[in-house]
Amino acid sequence: MKKYKTTVAFVLNDKLVEININEASIFTPTTTVLNYLRNNPFHRGVKEGCAEGDCGACTVVVAEINNENKITYKAIDSCLLFLPMLHGKQLITVEHLSRIIDNKIILHPVQQSMIDMYGSQCGYCTPGFVMSLFALYKNYNKPSKEVILDALTGNLCRCTGYQPIIEAAEAACIHNGKDHFTETEESIAALLLQIKQSTKTLSLITKKQKYFRPTKIKKARLLKSEYPNALLLGGATDIALKVTKKHELLPEIIDLSGIDKLKYYEDRPHTINIGAGLSLENLKANTEKTLPALHSMLSVFGSKQIRSLATLGGNIGSASPIGDTLPVLMAYNASVVLESPESKRIINTNDFIKGYHQTVMRQDEIITGIIIPKPKEGSIVKSYKISKRKDLDISTISACFALQLNNENLVQSIAIVYGGVAATTKHAIEAETYIIGKKWSQEVVEKAAKIIYNEFTPLSDARAGEEMRRIGARNLFLKFYLEVKNL
């Protein structure tokens, strides 16, 4: 097989597809997978509902090979995935779940269960639900209700009330993931590995756009030096909205999603080291015991479809004042690893943000990793999020608090960090200064809460007014005290 440099190669269901994106192509480097499928008359089960990852009607399943050359399956929102990001992967659509045997249509177990449990009414959202159920089927056997609800969080339905769909998941996912896809996994894995090994850097260049997808960190560093204004893409869950909602033309993109060495999680003696390209879903799975405050925040971050695409490096790099991970990372005193062709430097997250969507990154740098010191014995770290709904919503206020007490119940150190109350994620410095060295008591905490109320001047927007944000910030700290008091 030739080395793919200008051609996007992937497996669509069970067929190898090669798309040469050039001036003659109807597709561009930033064509979404959703729009690619909608242009295919035989793959229109996928639907557009919102074009921003909120409804799940466009859910498909992407299969790829892991470090052991085994196939893994994940449900994603196809409206947030650019076509070149499929390179070296398998795209599975709802049309491929059933089979025809002896002129009879044999439905996949998740499809049959949706019928048996009356899980579909108008049908518009059904293909998306089916694909989320398919990913659940391949990854879990007899999943708990909690796991099922998490898998379906990213899919909206206005007809069924969800209960029949939950029952369909319970009825279907009892076969240890075995189905007709199991029979072809070995051959598909071999084909995907062949594509992967034959590719160094995917370079898609048209008159209006340049899209690069390197597989090595060194090449990514060189590309960022050569194209300093290029957008860095980790999972595209944020950048894709520039295309789908704002209809922007993105002239230069460096896609880091093909660099496997950016997707690590290392539990070291004194630190947790995380690759910038590790998906938030993988990070969530690894941090329940090691970094519980981060795990807690990720549990209410977007949906599983979004977390399976989004990366920690991307969430940090966006420098959003309502980015859910930044308050937690700052409270944990984490650092960001920045690399360029000429240097490597480590910047504490508390020094990384310099303004609204602005960081200290130089134009030739990329984020390659995050280093989180392990909390000291006896330290307490908790994260919180206020939003209009529990799941799949942007933060109105987010917060993380890290507390260390000595044997006399005096505050040795404390971090009080908020998102959504200023133009950047910020420490409540006045409150922190007041508390240090004092007894951890209700009187002290209530005085600190009053300081927090006056320390920020939040904006009013569609999610909340200034007064609500002041009250919310104050009350979250009081809630933290009450929870810690009972430990």
Average pLDDT over residues 4-31: 91
Mean pLDDT, the chain, rounded, equals 96
Taking the C-alpha atoms of residue 308 and residue 348, their distance in angstroms, rounded to an integer, is 26
Average pLDDT over residues 110-120: 97
Which residues, at least 6 apart from 339, have a Cβ–Cβ distance to it below 8 Å? 217, 221, 365, 366, 368
Confidence category of residue 487, pLDDT binned at 50, 70, 90 = low
Average pLDDT over residues 255-270: 97
Taking the C-alpha atoms of residue 286 and residue 289, their distance in angstroms, rounded to an integer, is 8
Model-level pTM?
Answer: 0.95
**Where do the domains of the chain lie, and which CATH numbers do they carry?**
7-96+181-255 (3.10.20.30), 109-178 (1.10.150.120), 263-485 (3.30.465.10)
**pLDDT number for residue 44:** 93
**pLDDT number for residue 260:** 95
Whole-angstrom CA distances from 424 to 89, 372, 431 are 37, 20, 17
Of 320, 359, 308, residue with least CA distance to 338: 359
pLDDT tens readout for residues 387-428: 998 889 999 999 999 999 999 999 999 999 999 999 999 999
Taking the C-alpha atoms of residue 157 and residue 118, their distance in angstroms, rounded to an integer, is 13
Residue 55 has pLDDT above 70, yes or no: yes
Taking only Cα atoms into account, the Rg of the chain, rounded to an integer number of angstroms, comes to 23
**pLDDT number for residue 430:** 98
Half-sphere exposure of 183 (CA within 13 A, CB side): 3
pLDDT tens readout for residues 200-248: 899 999 999 999 999 999 999 999 999 999 999 999 999 999 999 999 9
Average pLDDT over residues 279-307: 97
| Residue whose entry in the numeric block shows the structure tokens 């600190």 | 448
Average pLDDT over residues 195-202: 90
3 state SS of 300: coil
Residue 4 has pLDDT above 60, yes or no: no
**pLDDT number for residue 1:** 41
467 conformational bin, left if phi > 0, alpha if psi -120 to 50, beta if neither: alpha
DSSP 315-347: HHHTT-TT-SHHHHHHHTT-EEEEE-SS-EEEE
**pLDDT number for residue 56:** 97
**pLDDT number for residue 199:** 84
Confidence category of residue 198, pLDDT binned at 50, 70, 90 = confident
378 conformational bin, left if phi > 0, alpha if psi -120 to 50, beta if neither: left
